[in-house]
Every structure is written in structure tokens, then in C-alpha cells.
Amino acid sequence: MTGLGDIADESIITFPEGLPGLDDCKRFVILRPEGIEPILLFQYVEDENLSLPVIPVQAVMEDYQLQISPGDRELLGFPVEPGLAEKIPFQPEKNQGWPENALCLAVLVLPGEDLPPNCNLFAPIVVNAATRRAKQVLQLDSDYPTAFPLPRE
Amino acid sequence: MLVFRRQQGESFRVGESVEVRILQVGRSHVKIGVIAPREIEIYRTELPNLNRQAVVRDWKDPAVRERLQGVLGGLKAPGREG
């Protein structure tokens, strides 16, 4: 459904435009450690001690709709058909126009002492598993929050 | 810093190409619309901080793994059931 199986362990994902706040790192290895599925880790290529945990948006919000512009589709290597609207909503569950090999992952902030875990639904990381390119795609037309609280255990 | 007042429905321009519109004023939130050329990247100033805040050090550390697993406990995890 998510194309996750197409990403082999240890394969390198490239962010051509970098990630805001982590601008010095554009290449990550994607890890799927046992026991924490469906959480994935984007491990820095340059520093294996650092990683960014992410979770598929569908695991958090089943009816999440991603909007991605033709420019970003092109950047990530998804097909861009002529005449496409400026923004196209995708619903992977309904399989309506969700590009093949697309992953949509929310950056996860782990719980602290006074802080519940939360994830960023406003700026999901979209990965094309086929081209191994990724971008944090802002959902400017949405009301999705940057810190969506997740229930504690 | 330039400071001025705008009401709901009013707007202002930044240069020739960017217009900022105050769409809705709530008790603690303001809804803002930005009209700008595609080449101008717009993002919330907290985004870089949010990404930096999310980075974990040494996920193999049992304490970190415990925090990662703690996130899962509260999720329905539809992918893990069927």
C-alpha cells in the first residue's frame, strides 16, 4: 500500500533541497528496526549516532490528505501529467491518484518528561521509493498542525 | 521591526510580489493567507526547530528504544493488525 517494501534496508534517501533546520544533511539511510514498527528512522549518513524518527501518516490519521504541487512531483520523480491542477489531494487508502512508490511520513517528536509524543502533520516527508528522493512538503492550504499530539501508552 | 495594525479581511504587501492577508482573527490564533510566486518558499519559522527537536541520538540505547516504543502504545496501528 505504501510502497514501503520497495525500500531496502540501508538504502540511501536523498533530500535534494535539504531539510529545514538540518540543512547540512541531505542524505539519510532509512532504517526499520524490529519492535518499533511502523516507526522508521532516517539515520544521518555522515553521523550514524543521529537519526530522525518518522511514522507513516496513515498510522496516525487514516484519512490524511496530502497535497503536492506539480513542481514537487517533478523534483521527486513522480509522473507529472499535463493539465494537472496546482495542488492535487492524494488519499492512499482510496488509492485516488496516490503516486506509485510514494511514502508520506510524519516527523515524530518523542515524549519528554512533560511533553506527550507528537508528530508533524503540517510538513510530512514525502519519499519516492523508486527514485529514493525525498522532500518535506508543506501543507500550506491545510489546517494540519505542526505538533499533532499522540496518545501516551 | 515594523509594527502596524490590520483587521480581519485586510492585507498588506511585501515588495511587489508578495501579499499577506489576515483571513480570520481568533482568541489565540490568526489565520493568514499568503499570495506569492512559486519560487518564494514560505514556511513557519518554527519548522527548523521542530526538525532539530525531533532528532534522536543513539536509537540503539535501551532508554531511547523505550521512548520509541512508548509512542506505539497509544496508537491503534492499523498496519499491524490485519
Pairing of strands A102-109, A118-128: antiparallel
B36-79: pLDDT as tens digits: 997 887 777 788 889 999 999 988 899 888 888 888 876 754 44
Among all residues of chain B, which has the CA nearest to that of A148? B50
Pairing of strands A88-90, A40-44: unpaired
Taking one residue from A and the other from B, the number of pairs with CB-CB distance under 8 angstroms is: 114
Q: Write out the three cell numbers for A58.
A: 496513515
> What per-residue confidence (pLDDT) applies to A105?
95
Mutate to test the interface with A, among B56, B65, B69 (most CBs of A within 10 A): B56
- Note whether A32 and A86 are within 8 A (CB): no
Among all residues of chain B, which has the CA nearest to that of A119? B54
Pairing of strands A50-56, B56-57: antiparallel
Q: How confident is the model at residue B80 (pLDDT cuts 50, 70, 90)?
A: very low
- What residues of chain A lie within 8 A of the CB of B73, using their CB? 152-153
- Note whether B53 and B46 are within 8 A (CB): no
Q: Count H helices, E strands: chain A?
A: 2, 10
pLDDT averaged per 10 residues in sequence order, chain A, 153 residues: 50 90 87 88 89 92 85 87 62 61 91 83 93 91 88 64
Q: What DSSP designation does A6 have?
A: G
CA distances (Å), origin B46, targets A69, A103, B15, B17: 22, 24, 24, 24
- What residues of chain B lie within 8 A of the CB of A62, using their CB? 78
Mutate to test the interface with B, among A110, A139, A148 (most CBs of B within 10 A): A110
What residues of A are in the B interface, CB distance below 8 Å?
Answer: 19-22, 31, 33, 35-39, 41, 43, 49-53, 55-56, 58-60, 62, 69, 71, 107-111, 117, 120, 122-123, 136, 138, 140, 146-147, 150-153
Residue matched to cell numbers 519492535: A35
> What per-residue confidence (pLDDT) applies to A83?
60
- Note whether B51 and B57 are within 8 A (CB): no
Interface check for B73 against chain A (CB to CB < 8 A): the answer is yes
d(CA A53, CA A58): 15
- What residues of chain A lie within 8 A of the CB of B78, using their CB? 58-59, 62
| DSSP line for B37-68 | -TTS----TTHHHHHHHH-EE-TTSHHHHHHH
Q: Write out the three cell numbers for A126.
A: 514525502
- What residues of chain B lie within 8 A of the CB of A69, using their CB? 38
